[in-house]
Structure 1
């Protein structure tokens, strides 16, 4: 049976590919997409989710806007990586995409989906964890309706926004702390894993060879993403962070995981937003989080290319 999934995202170049993968693969039943401020403002990330769905012909999946700022502290965006639109690179048409915005807010949409389903649902957040934390705070009775939370964020090593902290967690450390301590099973794919999934020129060529409007859009996305990752981080190819979450749900063998205790630093002068991953059990805390470690990159990219092939040219670039 397909895994019932709600994506919570902040598109974002890598989020865009995660939407494509979740929409294309028969192992995933994509129930809803919710958006959060992160890579860009909420207005822009929500528009981008609708643009990606329109371009890929993904219709009938409700999209709802969520929180426009973290629980505490100032809002961050990643314009240096994702550009002024949050999805710079492709030439999206001006005007409204033909994929509508659901009138409900994100938390209400997730609540309604959880209550409507006969079986628990997997939440896949790939941006700041604000929406998920608000859901858990507002509706603790729904925790049992969540099968697991499979997230992109954190790292077992260093950060990418500060030396200690990864962007998604740093955007809202308090929300991340709530999620990790919620008691809902959590699987974390951090930078230590996602940096292995790099879109090399060979990968981009495979996508270009598909020869569809959607593949051309994907090439534009990856080309822009490669430029900013080279300029900001010195990477020779950009890592496609977020789709590791859905790839893991499709084929758990693609990423090896270990169990470890994970804590989020809330107060450190230099370490706020860091994920402290106890790989060696030195804290004595329960090893209650699955942490992604080694990635089968060839298998991962096979899934991405096949998703772009499957969705083909069904949509528009509006």
Structure 2
């Protein structure tokens, strides 16, 4: 029997973050021990409220802590046109009944990793502000974390600009801190996540999932799919790919590389400059997804999540 992995998820819900949280919660391979929020897809007030609503809707028990709403240096960047003004597309989840953890997200991250060295995987699916601040506050988290995975970056393209992926562009200085830290970052970027398209055939796998389908999946994916970049091939479910890597690393091919973040370029700020030929490695870069197994994994987890929904 595969041991259960503990995971802490730093996120900016966000439609694809919502699906990533659902995947993590519904996966018997994972135990979600904390959720921290950051401003990104929408403003911090919305990402935090969405995380709380999702926790109650799904029946999660993990603490939720609010983090940073401002990048380290740059001006905030949001994406309401992609995720909706409040962040969850057309989903209207009930107001949260439970309360935030009193700690700042950075402190929750540090406390959780310090209390269980080598036991908790850290997954970041939004801008990397909280992670950078945690590194600056307590550099030893690089020793305590079991593994570190981000959804962010790319080695061939951008989506917010021609050169830069949204999460990295939203706080490039934080991303630079994170990639320069003394750990190996698994970068699940656009080159991988664009292989995870929620096509009509994929959507059929989610049919019959009751309230999970009607109240969360359909309202999110219907809105997501209206964005011009997603209409032809279906929306890319970016953030769930990062969680999927923690569930089963064999779902994707990763290649060792050196990744540096451009913070000053006129046209290239936020670019993750990836050198697959470097001898100074700091990352594992995801390149190829086992698409069929990925969607099978998601469908099974979503079925489990539906079965666990509170009445």
TM-score (norm 1): 0.93
The SS at the match of 2:45 is helix
Query: Superposed, which structure 2 residues align to 1:102-181 within 5 Å?
Result: 102-181=101-180
Q: Deviations over 1:157-196 (max 9, x none)?
A: 1100011000000000010000001011210011000000
From the superposition, tell whether residues 291 and 118 of structure 1 become closer, same or farther in structure 2 (CA, over 3 Å). Answer: closer
Q: Deviations over 1:217-253 (max 9, x none)?
A: 212211111112xx25654300000111111111111
What is the aligned partner in structure 2 of residue 196 from structure 1? Answer: 195
2: CA distance between counterparts of 1:308 and 1:53? 15
2: CA distance between counterparts of 1:53 and 1:270? 39
Q: 1:213 aligns with which of 205, 211, 231?
A: 211
From the superposition, tell whether residues 118 and 286 of structure 1 become closer, same or farther in structure 2 (CA, over 3 Å). Answer: closer
**1:21 correspondence with 2:23:** yes
Contiguous gaps of at least 5 residues in structure 1 = none
Q: Displacement, 1:28?
A: 1.1
CA contact (8 A) 1:64 1:109 kept: yes
CA contact (8 A) 1:120 1:144 kept: no
1: CA distance between counterparts of 2:161 and 2:117? 42
* Runs of 4+ in structure 1 over 6 Å off: none
Q: Displacement, 1:148?
A: 2.2
**1:241 correspondence with 2:235:** no
CA contact (8 A) 1:155 1:166 kept: yes
Q: Displacement, 1:10?
A: 0.2
Q: Displacement, 1:5?
A: 1.0
The SS at the match of 1:248 is helix
For the aligned residue pairs, the C-alpha RMSD in angstroms reads 1.5
The SS at the match of 1:312 is helix
Contiguous gaps of at least 5 residues in structure 2 = none
Q: 2:294 aligns with which of 297, 300, 303?
A: 300
1: CA distance between counterparts of 2:230 and 2:58? 30
2: CA distance between counterparts of 1:117 and 1:175? 25
**1:290 correspondence with 2:288:** no
What is the aligned partner in structure 1 of residue 43 from structure 2? Answer: 41
TM-score (norm 2): 0.95
What is the aligned partner in structure 2 of residue 278 from structure 1? Answer: 275
What count of residue pairs does the alignment treat as equivalent? 308
Greater Cα offset, 129-138 or 308-317: 308-317
Q: Displacement, 1:118?
A: 4.8
From the superposition, tell whether residues 273 and 235 of structure 1 become closer, same or farther in structure 2 (CA, over 3 Å). Answer: farther
CA contact (8 A) 1:147 1:185 kept: no
The SS at the match of 1:115 is helix
1: CA distance between counterparts of 2:259 and 2:268? 14
The SS at the match of 1:227 is coil
2: CA distance between counterparts of 1:208 and 1:224? 17
What is the aligned partner in structure 2 of residue 87 from structure 1? Answer: 88
The SS at the match of 2:226 is helix
Q: Displacement, 1:99?
A: 3.2
Q: 1:260 aligns with which of 245, 251, 257?
A: 257
CA contact (8 A) 2:262 2:271 kept: yes
